[in-house]
């Protein structure tokens, strides 16, 4: 077939395969596919950028989770210290109450002195 096309071409220089209806249609399809490929490439690049940002966010969230866990430990320690101080304050308050009661017992109820 190629030989016969060559023979026709040599006799008639007007033979132009590039203008054949099927070739023109295929070229149009190729152009459309190339546009779609570029659009897909652009979408893929956008997705890759978004993934990078998400990976950064995931790392930030992991760091925040570690910070929250650390803060929970510190709050637990502070709570234990506050409870210890509260227990000591309650014990000291009981001591002062007992001391006051002892003084009242031994010396009687004090008489208020006028101020002024």
Q: Where are the domains of the chain?
A: 16-107
Distance CA 80, CA 60 (A): 30
Predicted TM-score of the model (pTM): 0.48
Per-position pLDDT tens, the chain of length 116: 767 766 666 655 555 555 678 788 888 999 999 999 999 999 999 999 999 999 999 999 999 999 999 999 999 999 999 999 999 999 999 999 999 999 999 988 878 888 86
Q: Which pLDDT tens digit goes with each residue over 29-57?
A: 999 999 999 999 999 999 999 999 999 99
Q: Which long-range contacts (CB under 8 A, 24 or more apart) does 56-64 make?
A: none
């Amino acid at each position: 077939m190629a030989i016969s096309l060559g023979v026709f071409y040599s006799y008639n220089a007007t033979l132009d395969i590039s203008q054949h209806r099927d070739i023109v249609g295929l070229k149009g399809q190729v152009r459309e596919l190339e546009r779609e490929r570029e659009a897909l490439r652009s979408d893929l690049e956008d997705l890759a950028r978004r993934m990078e940002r998400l990976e950064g966010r995931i790392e930030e969230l992991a760091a925040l989770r570690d910070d929250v866990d650390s803060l929970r430990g510190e709050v637990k320690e502070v709570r234990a210290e506050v409870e210890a101080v509260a227990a000591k304050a309650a014990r000291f308050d009981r001591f002062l109450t007992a001391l006051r009661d002892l003084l009242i017992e031994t010396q009687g109820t004090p008489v208020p002195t006028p101020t002024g």
